[in-house]
Structure 1
Amino acid sequence: MKNKTFGSALIVAGTTIGAGMLAMPLTSAEMGFSYTLLLLFTLWLLLSYSALLFVEVYQKAERQDAGIATLAEQHFGIIGRILATLSLVIFMYAILTVYALGGGNLLAPFLDFLGENAESISIILFVIVFAIAVTIGTQAVDAFTRILFLVKLVAFFFVLLMMLPLVTSENLGALPLKYLVIISASPVFFTSFGFHVVIPSINNYLDGDIRRLRIAIIGGTAIPLVAYILWQMATHGVFSQLQFIEIIRQDPTLNGLIAATLQATGSSFISEFVRLFSALALITSYLGVALALVDCLDDLLKRVNINANRISLSLLTFVPVLLFALFYRDFLGVLSYAGQMFTFYGLVLPVGMAFVLRRKYPDLKYRVFGGNLGLVIALILGVLIMNVPFLIQAGYLPVVAG
């Protein structure tokens, strides 16, 4: 039982530490370290809160293996299911596309001999190779994630060990070039704590044990928060703000981040360790989200009395991802869109379900702290973050560099 809880916490952490974390330096360059910390803590509190709302809602789930769309239908009818399903599926396809783009971007330099086809072949390899573990099932992802997560921690430790001594107080003390960029960057940062899609899979894996699910969520989110703070300290402290902004404007991808690391440190060894860590972060997130999408599609098909096998579900999951990644290469653009979709699914939806549940069952055994005031504050912040892209387009908020 303890091993399952520990494994679930690692799935949460592994799913969380992914493309959002890697994109943080790309989107926070104009923000400065102090404002970046403020945004990190705010979103960590907000998304941990919304995840615990899901735990609260699962107390009255009709069945242990119920997906989020099933819970939404239970409380809001068929409209709830449709909205939950659309937002979830669009988000997961978008974020998996981001992982495929990032993975292909990191792998492509090793396949330069393929010429202009190097990145396309890299994307195909990334999608297919790790689709195999997801097709096998949750236990395979658990085992694979434990191994990769430990290797990722070692790689991250070495990256920090090499970069933190190069941090300067001058770089850390850089002031925001645009103060409102803290709001503009929020959709991308929002995905940095986007583990909510794996909650149904973990709930089923833990046999519906609410206590163990809470432990897995709280423990699983504490690890990324510490990692993010150290990661931001290393990047903001090593990179000269203006120099870094210029690099990411030219190449707003993970290779741009690696190029900035090479230029700031003068060490190809450090920059290649950043590449290794980035690849492992993408893989663990890819596995967790892909597992969640497979379970989501299974839940959706069962709703219309279709029992699909694991291979069919995997094809439905990975073929669209592969096509999107091959024909749409805007890494930060897709990530920002994913953040917008996830805000509805990961924040607005659980707030609504918790509000309805509390009215139906005033004697709930477990309630998340904050009462109804907490729900209102979370809802307002969620609506704001969802509308950030529109506010940027209207000129009310600054465009994020890159």
Structure 2
Amino acid sequence: MNRTLGSTLLVSGTMIGGGMLAMPLTSAGIGFSFTFVLLIALWLLLTYSALLFVEVYQTATHDAGIGTLAAQYFGKTGRVISTIVLMVFLYALLAAYVTGGGNLLSSILPEFGSQEIAEKLAIVLFTVFFGAFIVIGTKSVDGINRLLFFVMLIGLALVIFSMVPHIHMDNLMAMPLDNLLLISASPIFFTAFGFHGSIPSLNNYLQGNVKALRFSIITGSLITLSVYILWQLSTHGVLSQNLFLQILQQDPTLNGLVTATQQITGSEITAKIVKIFSALALITSFLGVALGLFECIQDLFTQTFKRATNRFTIGIFTFLPPLLFALFYPKGFILALGYAGQMFAFYAVVLPAALVWKARHAHPNLPYRVFGGNILLFIVAILGLIITSIPFAIKAGWLPTVVG
């Protein structure tokens, strides 16, 4: 039960990242009602696809990585494609979190030389300190994540409590400025429910316990959905659509939202709590993503290269590439991050649907089978491909642009 609780909080902590704070700005032109519908729909889709991984893991050893799982049903080609997609996606995310974490840390450290040197030093310190928990093991990640997660929830509760008295129903009833914005915003909200890269780590941590893994996924994602809805309710209720659009014109970043929140609540403390919450959300996401990448690289060494490698060496391969890019070539990873959503859609939706399709033919009598049958598998795979294509449609000018 102790590990189940830890896994549940890892699921939720991985999802509730810094991107959550950009969600109100992303949905500014949509309005709360339609944002609510979008959140429910994407939660259903991504929780379903996560449970597909649970089903297919019944046919593999509990320590199998996603590459090994893909190789089991699609051979060497499946291993190569799934491993590359997952690693690029997780490396891009990790570099973004390393950069963000370093910037946060540099703002509280004493001045050391130039601003550029201070930021680079902070990036290294952030990566080494929190990366050490990953190298030590999942149990240590579980421990630090629990502490940070509960503090983060307390911070969020305080922010929402201070904003509730300022909520106006008229603001919540705002309609979309353009109905197509609902489609454009989908990939951004889609990745906000992304924890699927951590599933192999969680399955290994839970020793292949299907019931515990299923509970962790459903409960953890429900916690996240509840947090997202409360956050959107508070921000949309406090800020009118016109004010939202003004914020976007003046400062389309987290700072703009923090400034507006401070102006409306009249509380500097609330604004500071939002920043603390942002830092904790970034760290918990960093831990979940890094854990998933670590397990993926470990699987690559042990199953593909057939080489037993110690955790320190795997840690070097996990953290050195994103650290170097964050230090010397951040724009390269920003570019990769732009395509991370498409890679995530393939990994989190298309791949599990394809794996389960094959697994059901090879193992027709599995103890646990996700509801919906093969027709739903096909529909989900198509939805994943559609979400993958949305950013290209926005670039082509067929869909309106959103902030994200």
CA–CA distance in 2 between the matches of 1:13 and 1:112?
A: 33
Post-superposition offset of 1:289: 1.0
CA–CA distance in 1 between the matches of 2:395 and 2:249?
A: 18
Aligned pair 1:154/2:154, yes or no?
yes
Query: Is this contact kept in 2: 1:14–1:281, CA < 8 A?
Result: yes
CA–CA distance in 1 between the matches of 2:338 and 2:259?
A: 22
CA–CA distance in 2 between the matches of 1:259 and 1:296?
A: 40
Deviates more, 1:303-312 or 1:374-383: 303-312
Aligned to 1:31: 30
Q: How does 1:2-401 map to 2 (within 5 A)?
A: 2-61=1-60, 63-110=61-108, 113=111, 116-117=115-116, 119-302=119-302, 303-326=304-327, 327-328=329-330, 336-401=338-403
Query: Is this contact kept in 2: 1:290–1:317, CA < 8 A?
Result: yes
Which amino acid in structure 1 is aligned with residue 379 of structure 2?
I
Segments of structure 1 that go 5 or more residues without pairing to the other structure are: none
CA–CA distance in 2 between the matches of 1:288 and 1:391?
A: 31
Post-superposition offset of 1:199: 1.0
Which amino acid in structure 2 is aligned with residue 43 of structure 1?
L
Post-superposition offset of 1:178: 2.3
Which amino acid in structure 2 is aligned with residue 292 of structure 1?
G
Residues 219 and 103 of structure 1: is their aligned pair in 2 closer, same or farther, counting only changes over 3 Å? same
Post-superposition offset of 1:235: 1.4
CA–CA distance in 2 between the matches of 1:253 and 1:55?
A: 37
Query: Is this contact kept in 1: 2:24–2:235, CA < 8 A?
Result: yes
CA–CA distance in 1 between the matches of 2:124 and 2:166?
A: 37
Post-superposition offset of 1:308: 2.2
Segments of structure 2 that go 5 or more residues without pairing to the other structure are: none
Post-superposition offset of 1:109: 4.0
Post-superposition offset of 1:97: 2.2
CA–CA distance in 1 between the matches of 2:240 and 2:105?
A: 27
Name the SS for the 2:192 alignment partner. helix
CA–CA distance in 1 between the matches of 2:72 and 2:172?
A: 48
Deviations 1:209-253 (A, max 9, x none): 111111111111111011110011111122233333343455444
Instruction: Give TM-score scaled by structure 1 length.
Output: 0.93
Post-superposition offset of 1:334: 6.0
Deviates more, 1:101-110 or 1:19-28: 101-110
Query: Is this contact kept in 2: 1:101–1:329, CA < 8 A?
Result: no
Name the SS for the 1:64 alignment partner. coil
Residues 330 and 319 of structure 1: is their aligned pair in 2 closer, same or farther, counting only changes over 3 Å? closer
Post-superposition offset of 1:320: 1.6
Which amino acid in structure 2 is aligned with residue 128 of structure 1?
V
Post-superposition offset of 1:119: 4.5
CA–CA distance in 1 between the matches of 2:369 and 2:255?
A: 44
Post-superposition offset of 1:121: 4.3
Which amino acid in structure 2 is aligned with residue 82 of structure 1?
V
Query: Is this contact kept in 2: 1:258–1:271, CA < 8 A?
Result: yes
Post-superposition offset of 1:188: 1.6
RMSD, aligned CA? 2.1
Query: Is this contact kept in 2: 1:183–1:388, CA < 8 A?
Result: yes
CA–CA distance in 2 between the matches of 1:265 and 1:331?
A: 36
Post-superposition offset of 1:202: 1.1
How many equivalent residue pairs?
400
Query: Is this contact kept in 2: 1:20–1:189, CA < 8 A?
Result: no
Deviations 1:342-396 (A, max 9, x none): 1100110000001111122222221111111211111111001111111011111
